[in-house]
Amino acid sequence: MTNGFVKIAAATPVTSVADCAKNAQEIVSIIYKVAKEGADVVLFPELAVSSSSCGDLYLQPFFRQKVQEALQDIIDAGRTVDTIITVGAPVKHMNNLYNCAVTIHNGRIVGITAKSYLTAWEQRWFAPACTLPANATATLCGQQARIGSGLIFETGTYSFGVEVGSDAQAPYAPCAQMALAGADIILNPTATKESTGVHTETTAHIAAQSKRCICAYAYANAGYGESTSDAVCSGANAIYEAGCELTSSPRFATKSQYCITETDVEKLRKLRTGNTHFAGCNTICDTIHIAQTTDEYSPLTRTFDATPFIPKGEKAGESLEEIFMIQSLALAKRIEHTRAANCVIGISGGLDSTLALLVCAKALDIIGQPRSNIIAVTMPGFGTTDRTYNNALSLMKSLGVTVREISIKAACLQHFSDIGHDVNNHDVTYENSQARERTQILMDIANQCSGIVIGTGDLSELALGWATYNGDHMSMYSVNASVPKTLIQHIVRHIAANSNDEVRTTLLDIVDTPISPELTPADEQGNIKQKTEDLVGPYELHDFFLYNFINYGFSPAKIYAMAQKAFEGTYSNDTIKKWITTFFRRFFTQQFKRSCMPDGPKVNSCNLSPHGSWIMPSDTSYALWMAECEKL
């Protein structure tokens, strides 16, 4: 296991009904292939050794002996690899026959999982797991092994359980019990028969099971070669992780196939930690230990979402609208609660203040107040460019808000004179003085008009501490506090697509404007010279780091490895290393700004509010994280 990742393969061999030796050959061929790719676990379908459509042959001792001989071939092949093998086979214990998944490692049968919930048709041949005595052991291929339902296999670095076929459809499926008892991965060998709509229902169910149980869920279905006397098996395989599909293989293939990927056990365990459904559970399952030697240097093959905050798919627009409405309803409530007569907001012509202004407009629409109650103030300074200035004015006018323009140049020059600062020294004092002057203006206007100051800063800036303390860092309600920079661009584009031509043109130009605080003079052509991403790094990288650090608590080394895959071909390894080091340094040293940040609505799982979302002392040492960054 590398960085918490476990490599799983779900395979469907071409089947020959009742030709156990031939089936074993196909299975062994796949075992060698996936072992070469570094698979920690490989799953084969229900009754794969015999095929799932042998009917009354299961009851014949001669046939069952041939099943054991074929299974022995698989066990022998397993001696040469470290991959754990789970394969379906009929197993006799005492006077009953059971539909089982046999788990094998290094030539040893480590456990046998019996199917619990049988169909009426299956009961012709098999007995349910509940008929097994407690702590039962079965003799198979000359070995004795534990047989039962709900067994958990523990390797020391990850654990897994097996539920067979339609057990997954039971009201209280074995996977729930095993997940509550600590199984990270659930394997489901099945022989599901296809009919119209079954595949859609099955994949939806698997996704739901993996999300509900916060586990990885691998599904291997019987396929080509099974009897078609009554139905067809599609050979579909899939691996899910906490509700999301990681990989799958096509249906109706006529050759043996498998899908293989890594599941993130560390992520799953982090999601379970603190989850009250898991924390308050005392479920205990029988545990079988497996001494597996893991490859610490197995390369990652799975991909990672480079923009995890951005909604994807057909309903992305609905998700963006939902976020916007959460922001707007939150502000509407705050306005009504404080009985504020006006909303006061600074408008720069940049992304953050644009979204905040749009939220203000929507909030007042919701509570039936005129948009003229929004006092939008543009405050040109030494670095303000014509592009942002004109966009600010255009947006304010097109939204029908009250527009005010107050230059901060004279006030800042007076301030520089008062404190003895050279106006030509464009250092942090020069920059922060402007930010604090703007905040003072907004606060005083709010006092004049019985209003509240609406903050514009976003989640990405809070993570990096990219805000002037008691400047743009401060407001009376911060509507963008949990919206990252990369997401803001998409929300604004979404609103633009549903706006009139005048608003749309302005919004799209704002999205395309380089991100800048505009606190230092423009270049000779009047263009933005101070570009934020040149100074602190690309926001798409920082948002990726932030998402995986806050949500899952991943180490710098793991996030770095994931970023290499996510941004392959976009950023070099040296670039990623540079900015991940910057991220962790700034994240820890700037906590003091977050410790006293204003209220703001939570819109996603990642939030840095000190009011319960992220609690960390402002003087926390970051030595451990910096030391790991240096080793990258």
**Mean residue pLDDT across the chain:** 94
Mean local confidence (pLDDT), 60-89 = 96
What is residue 535's three-state secondary structure? helix
Digit-coded pLDDT (tens) for 181-223: 999 999 999 998 888 888 888 889 999 999 999 999 999 999 9
Query: pLDDT-based confidence at 483, cuts 50/70/90?
Result: very high
Longest alpha-carbon distance in the chain: 101
Query: pLDDT-based confidence at 425, cuts 50/70/90?
Result: very high
Angle, vertex CA 167, rays to CA 166 and CA 169, nearest 5: 70
What is residue 475's three-state secondary structure? coil
Query: Structurally, what CATH architecture does the domain formed by 7-289 represent?
Result: 4-Layer Sandwich (3.60)
For residue 120, the model assigns a pLDDT of 87
How much of the chain, in percent, has pLDDT values that exceed 70? 98
Angle, vertex CA 134, rays to CA 131 and CA 137, nearest 5: 90
For residue 518, the model assigns a pLDDT of 67
Q: Which residues of 361-394 are buried (b: 16+ CB within 10 A; e: fewer)?
A: bbbbebeebebebbbbbbbbbbbbbebbbebbbb
Mean local confidence (pLDDT), 373-389 = 95
For residue 157, the model assigns a pLDDT of 93
Backbone angles phi, psi at 503, to 5 degrees: -65, -40
For residue 363, the model assigns a pLDDT of 98
Could you tell me the residue ranges of all domains in the chain? Answer: 7-289, 316-631
Which secondary structure element, helix H or strand E, spans residue 148, and what is its range? strand 143-148
Alpha carbons 599 and 597: distance in angstroms, whole number: 7
For residue 284, the model assigns a pLDDT of 79
For residue 295, the model assigns a pLDDT of 61
For residue 279, the model assigns a pLDDT of 74
Partners of 162 in the β-ladder: 187
In angstroms, what CA-CA distances link 168 with 85, 173, 248? 20, 5, 18
Q: Of 63-77, 191-205, 453-467, 556-570, which range is least confident?
A: 191-205
For residue 532, the model assigns a pLDDT of 75
Mean local confidence (pLDDT), 116-145 = 94
pLDDT over 80 at 528, yes or no: no
pLDDT over 80 at 519, yes or no: no
Which residues, 6 or more positions from 8, have their beta carbon under 8 angstroms from its beta carbon?
39, 40, 41, 42, 43, 185, 216, 218, 239, 260, 261, 262, 263
For the beta sheet containing 84-93, the strands, ordered from the edge strand earlier in sequence to the opposite edge, are 137-140, 143-148, 108-114, 96-105, 84-93, 41-43, 5-12, 257-264
Mean local confidence (pLDDT), 132-138 = 94
Mean local confidence (pLDDT), 286-301 = 81
For residue 255, the model assigns a pLDDT of 94
pTM above 0.95, yes or no: no
For residue 299, the model assigns a pLDDT of 80
CATH superfamily of 316-631: HUPs (3.40.50.620)
